[in-house]
Amino acid sequence: MVNTALTGRCFCGEVQFEVTGQPAAMGYCHCESCRTWSAGPVNAFSLWSPDSLRITRGAQSIASFAKNPQSERKWCTRCGGHLFTDHPHWKLVDIYAALLPQLKFEPGVHVHYQETVLPIRDGVVKYKDMPKEMGGSGETLPE
Ligand SMILES: [Zn+2]
Ligand SMILES: [Zn+2]
């Protein structure tokens, strides 16, 4: 498979980036942190190796906030548009799926489903919190 770069940008276009390779995982996070950060009912995520991501414009306009050390949330200081969440302990970066219009988004998992405010009946596995290999209980919930 040819690794063509996918391109993305913030809401105003000040920050632009490209990503190459394949995501490690894609899915939906229903946790309260994602909801209050995004002001949306669910976060559609795509997780990548940090090496896959290259900022091509506006790197100086990226700000960061970490409510906890697991998630460093990034946004554009010009428009306030959200960009990424770094997960340093997993060595992964969440590039919000909504910012990668060329990405073939194939959600494989729902995480933190015990916190959902928007149940999604799509037949995709629903973890109560997180899969075991990501440090969670590994327990699943019905839709
Ligand atoms: Zn912007
Ligand atoms: Zn979350």
Q: What is the pLDDT of residue 141?
A: 97
| Distance (Å) of CA 55 to CA 7, 60, 75, 85, 118 | 10, 10, 13, 14, 32
Give the environment of ion ligand 2: residues with CB less than 5 A.
29, 31, 34
Q: What is the pLDDT of residue 2?
A: 58
* pTM across the whole model: 0.94
Q: What is the pLDDT of residue 3?
A: 65
Distance 128 CA to ligand 1 centre (A): 34
Q: What is the pLDDT of residue 4?
A: 80
Q: What is the pLDDT of residue 1?
A: 52
Distance 3 CA to ligand 2 centre (A): 28
Residue ranges for the chain with pLDDT beneath 70: 1-3
The 8-class DSSP code of residue 140 comes to B
